[in-house]
């Protein structure tokens, strides 16, 4: 016995696939463009990180002449660690914004 083919369902699936492809491209573009600023606990180091996790810039403020290298290294480590978390958070927010309204196949 031959199976019936639901052409409307197939057409909807194709449209959804195309829409998902557009949303993926939009998401990829957004995560590389969205930049988050993260500061060290003492506010001497700032890291700009994209939602994709790429460090865009590192800025150091203040007088470094009276700082020990180990102290500055701790601040840099802390801010880079926090930047990784900030990038993850930004990615999740962008994902929710872009894909949040995307319904599962068959949902109305």
- Provide the pLDDT for residue 56: 95
Please check the confidence at residue 96 and state whether its pLDDT lies above 70: yes
- CATH, domain range 7-99: 3.30.1310.10
**Six token digits for residue 6:** 């639901």
pLDDT at 107 over 70: no
User: Residue 104 has what pLDDT?
Assistant: 56
The residues, any chain, with a CB within 8 Å of residue 95's CB and separated by 6 or more, are: 27
**How far is the C-alpha of 41 from the C-alpha of 52, rounded, in Å?**
23
Residue 62: which pLDDT band, with cuts at 50, 70 and 90?
Answer: confident
């Amino acid at each position: 016995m031959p199976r019936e083919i639901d052409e409307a369902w197939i057409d909807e699936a194709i449209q959804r696939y195309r829409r998902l492809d557009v949303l993926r491209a939009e998401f990829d573009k957004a995560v590389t463009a969205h930049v988050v600023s993260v500061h060290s606990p003492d506010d001497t180091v700032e890291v700009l990180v994209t939602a994709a996790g790429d460090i865009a810039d590192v800025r150091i403020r203040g007088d470094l002449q009276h700082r020990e290298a180990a102290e500055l290294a701790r601040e840099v480590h802390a801010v880079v660690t926090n930047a990784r978390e900030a990038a993850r958070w930004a990615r999740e927010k962008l994902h929710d914004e872009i894909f949040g309204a995307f319904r599962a196949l068959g949902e109305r």
